[in-house]
Structure 1
Amino acid sequence: MASILISLFFIISFSPAIAGISNFESDINDLQTYIVYVQEPKHGNFSKEIDLESWYHSFLPATISSNSIDDDHQSRMVHCYRHVISGFAARLTAEEVKVMETKSGFISAHVENTLQLHTTHTPRFLGLHQNSGFWKDSNFGKGVIIGVVDSGIGPTHPSFGDKDMPPPPAKWRGKCEFAGGAGCNNKIIGARNFLNKSEPPTDNEGHGTHTSSTAAGTFVNGANILGQANGTAVGMAPLAHLAMYKACDDYNGTCPESSVSAALDAAIEDGVDVLSLSIGLGPYQHKEFHANAIAIAAFKAVKKGIFVSISAGNWGPKPFSVVNDAPWMLTVGASTTDRSIVTSVQLGNQETYDGESLLQWTDIPSEQLPLVYP
């Protein structure tokens, strides 16, 4: 009997603690990244980064210390913003957000959105000529700094050579996070990683390299794929400088809204003239402007005189598929050009069908081959 009573004593005594541990683990598992908006401090902006971080930390519940980490050993405070919003990104539970809502100066918070990553002939198709006209008159973008928010950049790509490129403008305040600065030159004047700060801003997916070269790639003669479409590859502003802000995952093509906001915040601080983003929400995922951190960040950039160009989406021409439609941004949609690389298939009944393929076979055997439908 004494043994049973002792056992009951331990169960009664320690059950609340066990329940508390269970609830704590449940809360930790419910952590999500929130974008938190707060009022600007009444005494003005903080000159030191550490003071700004301390101000933002004051909005967190008292149970979260300045060095709190989650189960993945990540800091609960993800990003502190200076320019794009008055606020920060933090790993929080819904209950912790409710506690923050009672604090003076708190405005709102929402779970971050996950964005997605949305040709040599284009300049000629647009009527741009190297030796005359608008392109030449605009000096090919010389002296302009284009900030690209994407999946990183391949610094050894020939489109990013810096022959005949002037040094960066004196106003440039950016950083190059390639080892020893080896990936930067007078073309790529800045490169930073906001997705994983321990890794260089290298593009392993190809998307960021592609979009950067489209914006400001230098003239590359003899560009082709398997001998097709041979010509000169060039971006729209071949003498402009590039700054890459990596905020997107190379492997799954997703871009956390908190990382994109941090990249935009840094780009404004660094002194870019143009922001180029080829990312956005998926179709039918439209958010009101007050819950769209990218639209808010772009508005702040435009107020500071920065031109913002952003993709219309990847899902046209379906109805209601355009994203990034805030009126203060230039929403850019792709179109077709006036050429195609044709491959013809002749069936056994002598009917011929034209399609497109980069493979232009010249030695296909004359015997009939089976038509396979995948």
Structure 2
Amino acid sequence: MAADHTKLLCLWLSFSISFVYTELAYADNYIVHMDLSAMPKALSGQLSWYSSILASLSDNFGDKTNITIPSSKLIYSYKNVIQGLVVSHRRARGLAEHSRVCFSVRDRLVKVDTTHSFEFLGLNSNNGAWPVSDFGKDIIVGVIDSGVWPESQSFNDNGMSEIPSRWRGECESGTQFNSSMCNKKLIGARFFNKGVIAHHPNVTISVNSPRDTYGHGTHTSTTAAGTYVEDASYFGYAMGTARGMAPGARVAMYKALWDEGFYASDVIAAIDAAITDGVDVLSMSFGIDQLDLYEDPIAIATFAAVEKHFRLNISWK
């Protein structure tokens, strides 16, 4: 995000949101937005700056011994969607009075959703923007969700050309998932769970990989960009050819929703990585209820993603 944009957000949001300490939120984590323009030029980057600030904080916050707080100082460091970091409540309390902090918001649970995009957009498969775009040929769709089941025929790459050279992402290995499961259709798969682990330090992630155990990610990614699958049916009913909105597009999955919890901090980390990887479109089927846009951490992150994409487009021309 550009420095001038960061200053504008800091100025506006510092008057809109304040860090409020309550015992109820004591074990929560916080997303802390920093004023990047204030970073000392001698430092090598944002991560070293955040680390030095956290290292300077005192651990003596009068913590109650009957409350467990994760020991890790830094949960996430973001560089694209926001200029900031995610820390435990205790660290956020220490940062609250720091002059370089714009504002802090509590990490929140997100709620999965779905939609009927082509109907909403009024698209027609026979004429107009949909067929003219060649149904999304070679567009890279970054899907942020609960992972992917790569064996689905919706991800077969039959007849697809080589992966676009602008792609900078990767296919991460993990439980029941290895990098060979990606192909020319499913070109990337990554996973982010530091947020859910920080909220539940004793949790055991059952499938620590991009593999989908919830089902929602495979559903939304194939709806968005699944390729043509002939003779598809529902137990023999409604026989036909299944396809997504953009069957010619590539899919990059960013698993940020887990059986163990759906947290905004993991979602923002996924958005941050997707921008670095070079996705063209972000597909997200979830949200946070009953929050104004200016205090919704995902809304702020996606606003920055739109600005980043706009700036990249300008630089390409």
Question: Shorter chain as normaliser: what TM range?
Answer: 0.7 to 0.9
Which residue is equivalent to 1:191? 189
User: Hey, what's the Cα distance between the residues in 2 that align with 1:43 and 1:98?
Assistant: 20
Q: In the TM superposition, what are the counterparts of 1:158-237 in structure 2 within 5 Å?
A: 158-178=153-173, 179-195=177-193, 199-237=208-246
Residue deviations 1:86-145, cap 9 Å, x none? 10111123xx434312222111112111101119x997995414xx76443211211110
Which residue is equivalent to 2:27? 31
Q: Which of the pair is proportionally richer in helix?
A: 2
Q: Cα 1:83–1:228, aligned 2, differ >3 Å: closer, same or farther?
A: same
Shift of residue 31, structure 1, vs aligned partner = 2.6
Q: In the TM superposition, what are the counterparts of 1:219-258 in structure 2 within 5 Å?
A: 219-249=228-258, 251=259, 254-258=261-265
Shift of residue 75, structure 1, vs aligned partner = 2.7
What is the SS of the residue equivalent to 1:182? Answer: helix
Which residue is equivalent to 2:84? 87
What is the SS of the residue equivalent to 2:75? Answer: strand
List runs of 5+ in structure 1 lacking aligned partners.
1-26, 65-69, 307-374
Which residue is equivalent to 1:152? 147
Max Rg structure: 1
Which residue is equivalent to 2:19? none
Q: Cα 1:45–1:152, aligned 2, differ >3 Å: closer, same or farther?
A: farther
Residue deviations 1:21-48, cap 9 Å, x none? xxxxxx9x93311000110144699996
1:110 is aligned, of 100, 105, 109, to 105
Q: Cα 1:44–1:134, aligned 2, differ >3 Å: closer, same or farther?
A: farther
Which residue is equivalent to 1:59? 53
For residue 55 of structure 1, what is the amino acid of its counterpart?
W
Identity of aligned residues (%): 40
Shift of residue 286, structure 1, vs aligned partner = 2.1
List runs of 5+ in structure 2 lacking aligned partners.
1-22, 60-66, 195-204, 311-317
> Contact conserved, 1:46 with 1:52, CA < 8 A, in 2?
no
User: Hey, what's the Cα distance between the residues in 2 that align with 1:261 and 1:63?
Assistant: 28
For residue 216 of structure 1, what is the amino acid of its counterpart?
A
User: Hey, what's the Cα distance between the residues in 2 that align with 1:232 and 1:47?
Assistant: 56
User: Hey, what's the Cα distance between the residues in 2 that align with 1:279 and 1:245?
Assistant: 14
Residue deviations 1:236-256, cap 9 Å, x none? 11110110000001x36x420
Q: Cα 1:46–1:139, aligned 2, differ >3 Å: closer, same or farther?
A: farther
What is the SS of the residue equivalent to 1:189? Answer: strand
Q: Cα 1:62–1:42, aligned 2, differ >3 Å: closer, same or farther?
A: closer
User: Hey, what's the Cα distance between the residues in 1 that align with 2:103 and 2:89?
Assistant: 14
For residue 305 of structure 1, what is the amino acid of its counterpart?
H
Which residue is equivalent to 2:280? 273
Number of corresponding residues: 263
What is the SS of the residue equivalent to 2:309? Answer: coil
User: Hey, what's the Cα distance between the residues in 2 that align with 1:183 and 1:46?
Assistant: 43
Which residue is equivalent to 2:299? 295
Which residue is equivalent to 1:319? none
What is the SS of the residue equivalent to 1:55? Answer: helix
Q: Cα 1:156–1:46, aligned 2, differ >3 Å: closer, same or farther?
A: farther
For residue 302 of structure 1, what is the amino acid of its counterpart?
V
> Contact conserved, 2:70 with 2:88, CA < 8 A, in 1?
no
For residue 141 of structure 1, what is the amino acid of its counterpart?
G
> Contact conserved, 2:192 with 2:255, CA < 8 A, in 1?
yes
User: Hey, what's the Cα distance between the residues in 2 that align with 1:38 and 1:30?
Assistant: 21
Q: Cα 1:42–1:102, aligned 2, differ >3 Å: closer, same or farther?
A: closer
Residue deviations 1:318-345, cap 9 Å, x none? xxxxxxxxxxxxxxxxxxxxxxxxxxxx
What is the SS of the residue equivalent to 2:219? Answer: helix
RMSD of the alignment, in Å? 3.1
What is the SS of the residue equivalent to 2:265? Answer: helix
Which residue is equivalent to 2:135? 140
What is the SS of the residue equivalent to 2:190? Answer: strand
What is the SS of the residue equivalent to 2:188? Answer: strand
User: Hey, what's the Cα distance between the residues in 1 that align with 2:178 and 2:76?
Assistant: 25
User: Hey, what's the Cα distance between the residues in 1 that align with 2:237 and 2:41?
Assistant: 55
> Contact conserved, 1:76 with 1:92, CA < 8 A, in 2?
no
Q: In the TM superposition, what are the counterparts of 1:39-78 in structure 2 within 5 Å?
A: 39-42=35-38, 51-60=45-54, 62-63=57-58, 75-78=72-75
> Contact conserved, 2:79 with 2:272, CA < 8 A, in 1?
yes
User: Hey, what's the Cα distance between the residues in 2 that align with 1:303 and 1:224?
Assistant: 41
- TM-score, normalization: structure 2? 0.74
Which residue is equivalent to 1:128? 125
> Contact conserved, 1:37 with 1:86, CA < 8 A, in 2?
yes
What is the SS of the residue equivalent to 1:267? Answer: helix
Which residue is equivalent to 1:315? none
Shift of residue 72, structure 1, vs aligned partner = 8.0
